[in-house]
A and B are shown apart, each in its own frame.
Chain A
Amino acid sequence: MAEQSVWSMVISILLAGILTDNMVLSKFLGICPFLGVSKKLNTAFAMGMAVILVMLLATAVTYPIYVFLLIPFGLEYLQTIAFILVIAALVQMLEIVMKRFMPPLYKALGIYLPLITTNCAVLGITLLHFTNQKIIDFAAASGGYATGKVFVVCMANALGAGAGFLLSMLLFAGVRSRLEKANVPKFLQGLPITLIAASIVALSFLGFAGIA
């Protein structure tokens, strides 16, 4: 495989995270906030921003733990437990710090943070850095995971996944606000029609498959 520059890799990873490997619509992670918080456009936006923030932070913290703590001791199989632990503590800390120092931001995002604590999309992205074939190839070509270049690419991956989550939240909030006004048969009202709409939106994202 030809040597790839960091920036071309970053861009391709970002686009993949947003479109082809969309967290919600292709990998079906983070469905719970996707269905729960997508009723209104502004809450969906706030949730999406909170997820981006937490994904970036979680990657920044779990990546060194995995690379410098788990791999040297051969404990890769403990990554799920270790990451859950770290992410839960991290989100709690973030909440406390935000409450203290950034009250307006806490008002806007704070209520979504506890929801993200155990969000599978956040845990998923931290785990997927190490199973994503593109990143594995890139790491192999540029000297292993413990190099700064790969870390940058993983942060891009987290940003892309978060942005993809935000995009799908916003799209779906739009769909749902239309759905509110639609005349839905009684047996489909509420969650059933929401799930059907979600599957159709996911189907539309299949159109991106094969681009990257």
Chain B
Amino acid sequence: MNAILIAVAIVGGVGLVGGVLLAVISHFCDTGETNERLAEIRDALPGANCGACGYAGCDSYAEAVENGSAEPNLCAPGGADSAKKLAEILGVEVDLVKKVARVNCNGCTDVAETRYNYTGLPSCKAAAALGGGMKACDFGCLGLGDCVNVCEFGAISVKNGIAVVDETLCGGCGLCAKTCPKQVISIVTAKKAATVPCNNKQKGGQARKVCKAACIGCSACVRACEFGAVKVENFLATIDPEKCTNCGKCVAACPQKIII
């Protein structure tokens, strides 16, 4: 019995001394001023740890913002809200637009031709490894949902063989764009503007052969636009959302009726 008591007393005593010393030292060495702002910044971030800002996680981004080495508007999931809060905490101004992911393909199962009947793993990456995928179009969405799986916000769903982004849910983190083997997803400013949901860079005739909803690069939209917002490169029209006023002239002019 005595042996146990001694053992308890000695180990407990060592622990007690250590604990008391720790408490005393931390009391006297408390610097006080540090990290209040850091904690505030960290709280203003959404905590998705998605890495879209280019830092390892929300903690390291908060640190970078706190010591001034990072801009406060880099957080994609937090968007305008967190940027505004961060700017308030730091006392600086930021300009800021919400970014969302956009799938540049509208070749759903009704309009897109297929090369073969794919029965393998339900993964775009696996399908893309088989001759570039089952779609006749080399550029389009394969619709097997790799982006759905990687999305932290549940913003993407596959409808009729095409990934569709719910822009109200999308955090704009860009994980889907990185995952997509076809690179058909781009991160764009969430602004009401006309878009060309097509990624086909082939000549018009070839593009039309593989998909009924393909941009054929006819430049009718370029001629229709009064603001110089549309340009055609590689037989594919793109619309600059900064210049677009959503007037709808290109939508009317498009012979393929694909501009929305």
Residues in chain A within 8 A of chain B (CB atoms): 65, 69-70, 73-75, 78, 81-82, 85-86, 88-90, 92-93, 96-97, 99-101
Whether the Cβ atoms of A82 and B14 lie closer than 8 Å is: yes
Number of interface residues of B (CB under 8 A): 15
Residues of B within 8 A of A81 (CB): 11
Whether the Cβ atoms of B10 and A100 lie closer than 8 Å is: no
Out of A75, A90, A96, name the residue touching B10 (CB < 8 Å).
A75
Residues in chain B within 8 A of chain A (CB atoms): 3, 6-7, 10-11, 14-15, 18-19, 21-22, 25-26, 29, 31
For this complex, 19 residue pairs linking A to B, each with C-beta atoms less than 8 Å apart, are A70-B10, A73-B10, A75-B7, A78-B7, A78-B10, A81-B11, A82-B10, A82-B14, A86-B14, A86-B18, A89-B18, A93-B25, A96-B22, A96-B25, A96-B26, A96-B29, A97-B25, A99-B29, A100-B31
Whether the Cβ atoms of B22 and A78 lie closer than 8 Å is: no
Other A-B contacts than A89-B19, A89-B21, 15 sampled, CB-CB below 8 A, are: A73-B6, A73-B7, A75-B10, A78-B7, A78-B10, A82-B11, A85-B15, A85-B18, A90-B18, A96-B22, A96-B25, A96-B26, A97-B29, A100-B29, A100-B31
Whether the Cβ atoms of A89 and B22 lie closer than 8 Å is: yes
What distance in Å separates the Cβ of B20 from its nearest Cβ neighbour in chain A? Answer: 10
Whether the Cβ atoms of B22 and A93 lie closer than 8 Å is: yes
Residues of A within 8 A of B25 (CB): 93, 96-97
Cα separation A189 to B127 with both chains bound (whole Å): 24
- Chain A residue with minimal CB distance to B26? A96
Cα separation A97 to B29 with both chains bound (whole Å): 7
